[in-house]
């Protein structure tokens, strides 16, 4: 069996190659749906970007920012800010869908591709889920295969600027093809798991799978 992440790397390499050749990006949601706007969603007025959090926006100064990646991996790693910014960076444009029914098109994120992290830590073959923990005590869980899409990244920049604290800076997870609660703002730890473990909203009745085109809002 070819590990999931090898296929993901191939897709990612194909995307980067097309980009270098100046070809247009492949249509994004072709796999999940022909419709760009998922059912029951509306676009935010004038491209506004609402803020959703638990009422806390932790202030994390860059010198004490850490991202710990471990669990079912060959090589656990802990980044400081400089080291995280020294590994290969990508930028990408994707859509954002919040379960409270607003969507925002064409968000321009930059940071580290999840595929790059997978290369570094090398998940064990039995790793099937990933658990993200944030500095505001938020958490969320995502199956590995959803994270292998070439549009998944740990974003440190939005629209060419450092990611603001209200939107989850210094760094947040972006998983464009799932409802946005699956993307942890203020992310501090990424743990690869062999068994699934529900996160903050998943323990409180939200769908575990969270596909916007299937309207998987609540469990």
How far is it, in rounded angstroms, from Cα 173 to Cα 161?
Answer: 16
Note whether 207 binds ligand MTE by CB under 6 A.
no
Helix (H, G, I), strand (E, B) or coil at 94: strand
Handedness of CA 86, 132, 193, 14 (dihedral sign): negative
Cβ 178 vs Cβ 69: under 8 Å: no
Site mask, ligand MTE, residues 174-203, x = CB under 6 A? ------xx-xxxx-----------------
| SS3 track for 9-39 | HHHHHHHHHHHHCCCCCCCCCCCCCCCCCCC
Residues in 42-81 that interact with Mo ion by CB under 5 A: 52
Residue 214 makes CB contacts below 8 A (sequence gap 6+) with none
SS3 (DSSP) at 141: strand
Least separation, in Å, of the C-beta of 35 and ligand MTE?
A: 20
Which positions from 91 to 130 touch Mo ion by CB under 5 A, shown as an x/- string? Answer: -------xx-------------------------------
Taking CB under 6 A as the binding criterion, the range among 14-22, 33-41, 107-115, 134-142 that sits at the site for ligand MTE is 134-142
- Pick the binder of ligand MTE from 38, 111, 123, 168 (CB under 6 A): 168
- How many chain residues bind ligand MTE (CB under 6 A)? 18
Q: How far is the CB of 149 from Mo ion (least distance, A)?
A: 19
Choices 9-17, 50-58, 82-90, 143-151; region in contact with ligand MTE by CB under 6 A = 50-58
Task: Calculate the alpha carbon distances from 92 to 107, 114, 158, 164 in Å.
Answer: 8, 12, 10, 17
CB of 97 to Mo ion, least distance (A): 9
Position with the least CB separation from Mo ion: 98
Q: Which of 100, 102, 154, 163 is nearest to 132 (CA)?
A: 154
Provide the minimum distance between the beta carbon of 133 and Mo ion in the complex, in angstroms, as a whole number: 18
181 binds Mo ion (CB under 5 A): yes
Which one, 60 or 98, has the nearer CB to ligand MTE?
98
Question: What is the distance between the alpha carbons of residues 129 and 22, in angstroms, rounded to a whole number?
Answer: 34
DSSP per residue, 165-195:
TTTTTT-EEE-TTS-GGGS-TTEEEEEEESS
Q: Point out which residues bind ligand MTE (CB under 6 A).
A: 49-54, 98, 134, 136, 138, 167-168, 180-181, 183-186
Q: Point out which residues bind Mo ion (CB under 5 A).
A: 52, 98-99, 180-181
């Amino acid at each position: 069996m070819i590990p999931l992440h090898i296929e993901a790397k191939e897709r990612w390499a194909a995307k980067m190659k097309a980009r270098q050749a100046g070809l247009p990006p492949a249509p994004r949601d072709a796999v999940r749906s022909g419709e760009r706007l998922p059912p029951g969603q509306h676009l935010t007025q004038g491209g506004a970007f609402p803020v959703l959090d638990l009422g806390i926006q932790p202030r994390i100064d860059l010198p004490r920012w850490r991202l710990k990646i471990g669990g079912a991996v060959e090589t656990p790693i802990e980044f400081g800010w400089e080291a995280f910014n020294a590994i290969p960076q990508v930028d990408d444009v994707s859509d954002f869908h919040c379960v409270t029914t607003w969507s925002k098109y064409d968000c321009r994120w930059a940071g580290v591709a999840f595929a790059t992290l997978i290369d570094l830590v090398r998940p064990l073959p039995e790793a099937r889920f990933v658990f993200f923990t944030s500095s505001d005590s938020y958490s969320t869980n995502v199956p590995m295969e959803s994270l292998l899409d070439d549009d998944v990244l740990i974003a440190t920049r939005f629209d060419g600027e450092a990611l603001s604290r209200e939107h989850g800076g210094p760094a947040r997870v972006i998983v464009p093809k799932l409802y946005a609660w699956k993307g942890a703002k203020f992310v501090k730890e990424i743990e690869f798991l062999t068994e699934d473990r529900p996160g903050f909203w998943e323990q409180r009745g939200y769908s575990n799978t969270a596909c916007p085109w299937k309207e998987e809002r609540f469990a």
